[in-house]
Amino acid sequence: MPQLKRESTTSSSFQCATCKKAYFNNGTYLDLTVSIGAKQYTEAKPVSTEVFRTPLVSFLYERGWRQNFVWGGFPGPDREFEMAKKYLKPTLGGNIIDASCGSGLFSRRFAMSGLFSLVVALDFSENMLRQCSDFIKQEKSFPTENLTLVRADISRLPFVSSSVDAVHAGAALHCWPSPSAAVAEISRVLRPGGVLVATTFILDGFFPAIPFLRILRQNIGQVSVSSNIFLSERELEDLCKACGLVDFTCVRNGSFIMLSATKPR
């Protein structure tokens, strides 16, 4: 895949220099999923992934779904955005991936802020990306020149290693099928000094400490519609460290956590 820059993501099509596979822009988003172009092969995804691909959930996400997160301690999008900007300060002026962006709740804020040269709104859900596009069309004087919508798998990011300045993942980590694979991919694409900022629900207490309860928690999470697994603060820190990120720091409120970690220089 090309370096992460505007001209490499807006053309109607381009070809991977290594495998010669063609990728296309359908006018709304650029589809960079591994299976794009396959006629017979389909890859099964967990319920926690598929539910967000449905038109109904995509439509409701900013129309009531996300607002309910305040009951879990989330401070609300505007406050979350201000908190994230503080962690992202070292990367301002660079590019940023809003990973698992949903309907672009934060992608649009990043683009309108002018703080980054390029904002990539990335999600696996086609319908979420369409909702993001629809919201953009409703905005007056929206700076579309620095925002690109990309469909991709969080565990298979289609970007060159060390080409991304920052990654933001709002209320997403608990929905990822494999948090370790996703954070490892994020670590791979971040430049040295690049920053990951993420928010998620956490679960502390007896579950992380007792092996049997930890396994039970994971199994419950995997059959849940809305989540894969809720990790504890200590587990999140250990996950970032295992994936090569350092300087873990976080802010908590109830079940809400905002974390930041950096790729070593």
So where are the chain's domains?
A: 44-263
Alpha carbons 6 and 4: distance in angstroms, whole number: 7
Q: What is the pLDDT of residue 150?
A: 96
CA distance 120 to 141: 19
pLDDT at 170: 97
> Within 13 A of 94's CA, how many CA atoms are on the CB side?
21
Residue in 241, 200, 60, 43 with CA at minimum distance from that of residue 124: 43
pLDDT recorded at residue 209: 42
CA–CA separation, 187 vs 167, rounded Å?
Answer: 9
Contact 10, 25 (CB under 8 A): yes
Q: Which CATH architecture is the domain 44-263 placed in?
A: 3-Layer(aba) Sandwich (3.40)
Measured over the CA atoms of residue 176, residue 181, residue 187 and residue 188, the dihedral's sign is negative
Question: What residues contact residue 5 under an 8 Å CB cut-off, 6+ apart?
Answer: 95, 118
Q: How many CB atoms lie within 10 A of CB 226?
A: 14
Mean pLDDT by 10 residues, the chain (265 residues): 52 69 84 81 76 92 93 95 97 98 97 97 97 94 94 94 98 92 98 98 61 46 50 95 98 96 97
